[in-house]
Amino acid sequence: MKRIYSIALTTFLTINTIQAQVNDSITLRVIFNEILKNGKCYSDLDYLSNKIGGRISGSPQAAAAVEWTKQTMLKIKPDTVYLQEVMVPHWERGEKEYAKILNSKSIDSKEVPICALGGSVATPTGGIVANVVEVRNFEDLAKLGRKGVEGKIVFFNRPMDPTIISTFESYSKAVGLRWGGASEAARYGAVGSIVRSVTLSQDDYPHTGVMGYNDSLPKIPACAISTNGANLLSKLLKTDSTLKFHFTMSCQMLPDVKSYNVIGEIKGAEHPEEIIVVGGHLDAWDNGSGAHDDGAGVVQAIEVLRAMKALGIKPKRTIRAVAFMNEENGGRGGKKYAELAKQNNEKHIAAIESDAGGFTPRGFGIEGTSAIIKTIQAWKPLLEIYGLHDITAGGGGSDIEPLKEQNVTLIGFVPDSQRYFDYHHTAIDTFDKVNKRELELGAASMAALIYLISVYGF
């Protein structure tokens, strides 16, 4: 009798499991159909990129983006939409930067494209004119010492490694020179710092990005030079080590400004206290329009809410879309969100961030326990038919990273990365570089995973 009961129970559980998988498969197909047929994220990105444009923290454009995001979320009619106050840094680029190579041996002068790094001080009136020393890393700089560097401009010329398949890994190995180069150069008496743009692309578009100063050292102007400009400067230095570089920048750091994270929420029907976050960052560098970085992530997060409401899906757990402010030059939006989550004793079970561009979906990187990673990987048969094959351990994202100490599972949306750093932090990160179908597939991919987490939890 016990054996018959055991067989019956096993059969019952198996049938229920199969039925659940069928139901999940149908729901995911419906979510994808809704977003691919009726999605609004592409038109939303058009407005955010083309009507508002670059949205550096503290700027009028950032303030306009906050209001637009709030109104866009309200139109979806989630259970609540609100602003979360956060003080952010306010750095302004000023007039367009100018740079010229002065070389008496081959050409009289050659103008090259540069852009100030975010947070840099300005050059003195009239700019800086000085000899240049080229290094590949901080070790080269230390070998030159004060004798080889004082009074000169240090040119950090380390390309991204093209042999590394993951462009994000290659980027991470090169970007440290951008952040700390100016202070390290100042340590040895340099008057300015130039860093090669962190990209594999060979072009005339310099890549900005945040840099930082060591307050115990002099603050010297820091700029990025385009890869073509870097190649030319390096070539000319080999034939004329006495050439000079002239550059002018008028950037400045102003007092902090009040800004906001924008949050829209659908309450969970069964476990409203358990929160799943999906988000991207609303701020973007001022030299482009922030389409891939990270307008795409913001509109995809909004699209998750829109699709759930349009389909009448009532998630078991609370889904919260967050447009974070100030990822690019401070990360204060993510830090404030985590601070208030802890203060309010909120229970977040997962946070998903899209901050790698609006390209073709490949999967998700998961930062969590091995048990939770296995749980998500068990859903792979439901997800891989949509191209989501890469579901592995990985990083979540800088805006959601502060939630880690609260034992939240962090998930990074992973699209194809090969073209991202062609546009990253440049004047050509514009709406026309985003493919409508790829953007929508990304939104649907995140909506699908969020649906599964909302049903089963961890």
Enzyme catalytic residues: 327
437: exposed, middle or buried (C-beta count within 10 Å: 0-12, 13-18, 19+)?
A: exposed
Q: Which residues contact 203 (CB under 8 A, 6 or more apart)?
A: 226, 227, 228, 422
CB atoms within 10 A of CB 145: 12
Residue 147, helix vs strand vs coil: helix
DSSP per residue, 75-127? HH--SEEEEEEEEEEEEE--SPPEEEEEETTTEEEEE--EEEPBTPPPPPTT-
Cα dihedral across residues 67, 335, 300, 168: positive or negative: positive
Q: How far apart are CA 14 and CA 382, in angstroms?
A: 17
Other beta carbons within 10 angstroms of residue 400's beta carbon come to 29
One-character DSSP codes across 350-405: EEEE--S-S--EEEEEEES-HHHHHHHHTTHHHHGGGT--EEEE----TTTGGGGG
Cβ atoms 313, 78 nearer than 8 A: no
Which residues are CB-contacts of 103 (< 8 A; sequence separation ≥ 6)? 109, 110, 236, 240, 243
Tokens coding 190: 């340099």
Cα–Cα distance for residue pair 284/117, rounded to 1 Å: 14
| The two structure tokens encoding residue 210 | 């945040």
**SS3 (DSSP) at 229:** helix
Q: Are 323 and 67 spatial neighbours (Cβ–Cβ below 8 Å)?
A: no
How far apart are the C-alpha atoms of 245 and 152, rounded to whole Å? 9
Strand 390-393 to strand 361-367: parallel, antiparallel, or no bridges (unpaired)? parallel
Where does residue 19 rank: exposed (0-12), middle (13-18), buried (19+ CB within 10 A)?
exposed
Is 89 within 8 Å of 222 (Cβ atoms)?
no
